[in-house]
Amino acid sequence: MAAGYLYWGQNGGNINLQYQLINGNSDSWVHAASAYKSKYRLSVSSTAGGTAQIQGGGATGNYDYNAVVTIVATPASGYRFSHWSGDPVADAGSATTTVSMNAGNRSVTANFIKTWNISVSASPAAGGSVSGGGTYDNGATVTVNAIPAAGYRFDRWTEGTVTVSTNPGYTFTASADRTLVAEFVRQYTVSVIAVPPSGGSVSGGGVYDEGAAVTVSAVPNSPDYGFTGWYESNTLVSAAPDYVFTITADRVLEARFVDIIPPVISLNGSPQVSVECGDAWVEPGWTASDNIDGDLTAQVSVTDPVNSSVPGIYTIVYSVSDAAGNSSSVSREVTVQDTLAPVVAVPGPNPLYHKVFRPLTLPSGSAADQCEGILPVLVQGTVDPNVVGVYYLTYQATDSANNTGQYFLTVEVVADVPPVITLNGPMALILDCGTGYSEPGWHVQDEEDGDLSGSVTVNGTPPAGPLGPGEWTVTYTVTDSAGNTVSAQRTVTVQQNCTLTVTAVGETALTAPPGGSVTFAVAASGAVGDPVYQWEKFRPAKTWEVIPGEIQSELILSDLQYEDAGEYRCVVSDLVTTVESPVFTLTVDSGLSLAGALGIALLVGVLAVLGHRKAMVKLS
């Protein structure tokens, strides 16, 4: 062997390094025990579920000291690499890692875990979303979740034809491959509405599974309403209050109720009335109300055929309808009747005086009927103008209803005709309160004596000056030269419309202490002439008693005593009338307790004994 070469030899399981040093002419073997290197064995194995090997091939190999060897674990289908066990490796959790050959032989094992595939899906696909699918270790806890989409609800998890859970969150232990389906059910909303809301109540609305049988019900709230049907988009879908259908879509249903009670018309006055022919027919009126719409008086339609100028029986019809179309009507029977007789008038005086032997032309009568107007007049009776005497004539008119009107005229045929008094102005004179009477005058004409106006005697004339309410009869009398005496009368009426009023000035109820003072006052307006005042006090005998000297518009009461308490009034008079004022009330009150009042009384008594004529106690 040449000098410097190494010799490698094996001694048993060890590899010894020896070298032979060649010196000069002879060979020399030197055993160097401290200068050698060893080779180490690496063994790779695996558990079920995969394979393990040294990169490059093989499960075992010999490697120099400090060599770094790459090892690879490959899982079989349905498994996954878990970790390396045995001697240390660089990364026990990595399927590909390294082993350092620095400490003798090495042995490592690749460990595998069984896995299961969990598949999840939704049925129908639009029904919702699912999660939790994937690959899981054997024995792992798995939770799959199902979330329904809008308009759907989760029903169950199925595997094949088997229901495995009804919870949307399904938890189980992985022990096999699984194909899970989240079953969703389509749902629809049924909305029910009462129209109008006050008309009734509805039920049955809600969310239903597709294909479910749905019953919606409608019940009127009161007898005032009736159910007319179920409507959808203004289309009648059922006339029955209980509507049953199979749900296939969202639905909005209206239960329509209507007012079924007609309005009520009430007539003012009687439903049967009578009116006199020729009088104006005045409608008494009516009211109308509805249980839902309220006051319908203004909506009433009236058919009024009444003609008060023509006797007969007329029917007035009053009609009204409410907003729901319910209508009602009532009627009033009006009888136009002719019960008044014609009014017969004959101009001129009555009695009518006529001088004997002179031609006589009787006055023509006229008749006016309120219903038929002007009617002809018939005269019954005769007058012989050549024979002195008293004759009676009847002027008569009859209308179509056989009402007869008459006027009786007395004609006196005399040797000498009495004078005729003609009054100026109205025979009945009406005056306002406070107005004075002014005589309108008269005229008297006598056939023989001529004008006798200056010979008239007047009695009963109202007093001069402003007049108060009342009535007077003025009588005018005259006698001609033949001794014929005639008279005429005029009535004078003064109305109850006097303008004098009396009001209180200030408070009408006052309270003052003994020794104090109060003032009551009145104001008079509308007096005819100057008003006259007289104050009175109401006495226990329940009579009003005049207070002497108190004749002003103010009543001042001073140095009050308890007996001054009571009621007062002022009687005010003018030239034509008298008016009483409101009643004034005075309360005399010391404001002290009974003991205090007794003490004051005692003090007053003591002062009186000492010679005081009057003791006044000022009360604070």
Q: What one-character-per-residue DSSP string does 202-215 give?
A: EE--EEEETT-EEE
For 6-26, letters b (16+ CB in 10 Å) and e give eeeeeeeeeebebbbeeeeee
CA distances from 257 to 195, 204, 221, 575, 578 (A): 6, 17, 9, 75, 70
What's the pLDDT at 599? 47
Q: Are residues 214 and 333 in the same domain?
A: no
User: Where is the domain boundary, 441, 461, 494?
Assistant: 494
Q: Are residues 43 and 85 in the same domain?
A: yes
Q: Are residues 445 and 470 in the same domain?
A: yes
Inter-residue contact 242 to 215 (CB < 8 Å)? yes
User: Where is the domain boundary, 446, 468, 494?
Assistant: 494
Q: Is the peptide bond before 124 cis (omega within 30 degrees of 0)?
A: yes
Q: Are residues 506 and 548 in the same domain?
A: yes
Give 10-residue mean pLDDT values along the chain (620 residues).
Answer: 36 38 39 53 96 92 94 96 96 96 94 97 96 96 97 96 97 96 97 94 96 96 93 96 96 95 96 95 96 94 96 97 94 96 95 93 96 96 96 97 97 91 94 94 92 96 94 96 92 94 96 96 95 94 92 96 96 95 95 50 43 32
- Decide if 328 is inside a domain: yes
Beta bridge partners of 75: 50
Q: Is the peptide bond before 351 cis (omega within 30 degrees of 0)?
A: yes
Query: 591 CB contacts (<8 Å, ≥6 apart)?
Result: 513, 619
- Decide if 201 is inside a domain: yes
User: Where is the domain boundary, 218, 235, 260?
Assistant: 260
- Helix/strand number for the chain, H first, E second: 1, 54
Q: Are residues 183 and 232 in the same domain?
A: yes
Residue 414: HSE in the Cβ half-sphere, 13 Å Cα cutoff:
16
Q: Are residues 566 and 510 in the same domain?
A: yes
Q: What is the DSSP letter of 436?
A: B
Question: How would you classify residue 373: left for phi > 0, otherwise alpha for psi between -120 and 50, otherwise beta?
Answer: left
What's the pLDDT at 247? 97
- Decide if 563 is inside a domain: yes
CB atoms within 10 A of CB 300: 19
What's the pLDDT at 37? 52
- Identify the CATH number of the domain in which residue 316 sits: 2.60.40.10
- Decide if 611 is inside a domain: no
Q: Are residues 485 and 520 in the same domain?
A: no
The residue range of the domain holding 431 is 420-494
Q: Are residues 133 and 230 in the same domain?
A: yes
Q: Are residues 405 and 438 in the same domain?
A: no
pTM beyond 0.85: the answer is no
Q: Are residues 350 and 452 in the same domain?
A: no
- Decide if 488 is inside a domain: yes
Backbone torsions φ then ψ of 125, nearest 5 degrees? -60, -35
Q: Are residues 297 and 255 in the same domain?
A: no
Domain count across the chain: 7
Q: Are residues 243 and 150 in the same domain?
A: yes
- Decide if 565 is inside a domain: yes
Amino acid at 131: S
- Decide if 168 is inside a domain: yes
- Decide if 599 is inside a domain: no
For residues 587, 591, 595, 597, the Cα torsion angle rounded to the nearest 10 degrees is -50
What's the pLDDT at 57? 81
